[in-house]
Amino acid sequence: MSEATQDHTNDFVTLTADIVCAYVSNNSVPIVEVASLLGSVHKALSGLAAGPVPAASAAEVDKPTAAQIRKSITAGALISFIDGKPYKTLKRHLSAHNLDPHSYRQRYGLSKEYPMVCPSYSEQRAELARAIGLGRPGAQASAVEPKSRAQRKTG
C-alpha cells in the first residue's frame, strides 16, 4: 500500500471514530450495533472520497412518441408519463416526484407548449374568472355599487 493511500485510510479511520463517538455520546446505541455503525460510517466516508455515483437509472427514461404525446392530452384529463394516471392538473403530481413543469417537459422530450392543465379544467377556471370580473378594470366595483347617502337615510 502506498504512503498516500495509507494516509487517506488513517484519515478515514480517525474521522469515522470521531463521528461515531459524537453520535454515541448523544444517542443510545446498543453495543452490538456499534461495529455495524463504524462500518457504515467508514463506507460512507470512502464513498464520498470516491466521488459521485452516476445516476444511470434516473437519466434513462423512454421518451414518448408523438402519438403518445397527443393521446396524453384529453379534454377531461392529462395522462402523466410518470405513472400513466389521469390528472386535471399536473403541478402537484410533479412536485410529489420532485419535478417541476420545465424538468418534466425536458425529461420526456415535450415541447414548451405542452399543457400542465387539461383543457376542460382550464376553460372552467377561465369562465369563473370572467364571471367574477377578473381582467376587466372596475368590473367588480360596477357590479356592487354602494348605496348613495340619500338612499341610506331614507331607506
Amino acid at 25: S
Cα–Cα distance measured from residue 114 to residue 36, given in angstroms and rounded to the nearest whole number: 49
Q: Which three cell numbers stand for residue 98?
A: 420532485
User: What pLDDT does residue 135 have?
Assistant: 81
What stretches in the chain show pLDDT beneath 70? 1-9, 52-60, 139-155
Max CA-CA distance within the chain? 102
Domain boundaries, the chain: 8-50, 66-132
User: What pLDDT does residue 5 have?
Assistant: 54
User: What pLDDT does residue 56 have?
Assistant: 47
User: What pLDDT does residue 141 have?
Assistant: 53
The answer for residues whose C-beta is within 8 angstroms of residue 85's C-beta and 6 or more apart is 79
- Cell 408519463 appears where? 81
User: What pLDDT does residue 134 have?
Assistant: 87
With residue 86 as reference, give the H or E element that holds it: strand 86-87
Q: How far is CA 69 from CA 8, 25, 42, 90, 146, in A?
A: 52, 56, 47, 14, 52
User: What pLDDT does residue 146 have?
Assistant: 55
Q: How far is CA 111 from CA 58, 64, 78, 79, 115, in A?
A: 20, 12, 15, 16, 9
User: What pLDDT does residue 144 have?
Assistant: 54
Cα–Cα distance measured from residue 80 to residue 107, given in angstroms and rounded to the nearest whole number: 12
User: What pLDDT does residue 49 have?
Assistant: 78
Cα–Cα distance measured from residue 7 to residue 13, given in angstroms and rounded to the nearest whole number: 10
**Which class is 66-132 in CATH?**
mainly alpha
0.85 surpassed by pTM: no
